[in-house]
Amino acid sequence: MASRADFERQALKHIDQLYYAALRIAGDLGDAEDLVQETYLKAYKAWPNMVEIRDCKAWLFKIMINAWNNERLRRSKEIYLSEGENSELALAESGHASRNSNPEAQTEIRLLAEAAERALREMPEELRVLIHFADIEGFSYKEISDILSIPMGTVMSRLFRARNLLEKSMASFYPNPGPGSHD
């Protein structure tokens, strides 16, 4: 396990993913930064006692979700992404849009990803987060179940629902004969 020097090496390397997820969850740049910072400080505090960091990234996400749930509880209201809040997410993303040097691929990725982003905004948070964890972060059902503290069956059923919603809202991108043909 894990010395304190390991923390900087093993935990901080996930900061970009945590930040992106925090933007999606919190919606606000300031809240996202606070959430990431709080996540890391909590993680740092617990770090010396970690017997084995089998999956550091999932562990960090779990801390973040708990921290956000606590914050939400404190604010005593549900916070969903609003249009304005998401413009901050778009702002965060736009600063890095030029990284891909292949213009054609960049365009395709951007159009698809932007459409997906719009579709995700329309989803309830509980579904949006699942898409993020499964499709963007690549967590397994079991890992998502652990992170969100919900049963694996719930993860699977919600994820199925979320992806169907996403897929249908992406119909204009869909190749012939369209996503509804198999329904």
Partner 1 sequence: MIDCADLNEKLYLYLDSAIGKELKEEIESHLASCEDCRGRFEFLHRLRNSMRGRASSISAPQHLKEEILFEIKRRRMAKARKFAAFGGLGAVALLLLSLALPGLFKPHMKTSLGDFGVLYDSYIQGALKADFLSQDVDKAEAWFREKQFAVTLPRASLAGYDLTGVSLREVAKRHSAVSLYEDQKSKEKLAYIAFKDKKLNINFPRMEAVSGKYLFVTRHDLHSFVFWRDGALVNILISDDPEENLLEYARICVKLIDVGKPSK
Q: How far apart are CA 76 and CA 70, in angstroms?
A: 9
Q: Peptide bond preceding 177: is omega within 30 degrees of 0, i.e. cis?
A: yes
Residues in contact with 122: Cβ distance below 8 Å, sequence separation at least 6, in sequence order? 165, 169
Contact flag: residue 8 with partner 1 (CB under 8 A): yes
**Residue from 65, 87, 141, 150 that binds partner 1 (CB under 8 A)?**
141
Binding window for partner 1 (CB under 8 A); candidates: 54-62, 68-76, 78-86, 103-111: 103-111
Q: Does 134 bind partner 1 (CB under 8 A)?
A: yes
Answer yes or no whether residue 161 interacts with partner 1 by CB under 8 A: no
CB of 76 to partner 1, least distance (A): 26
Q: Is 140 in the site for partner 1 (CB under 8 A)?
A: yes
User: For 28, which DSSP code?
Assistant: S
Spatial distance between the Cα atoms of 165 and 120, rounded to a whole number of angstroms: 9
Q: Which of 42, 79, 121, 136 binds partner 1 (CB under 8 A)?
A: 136
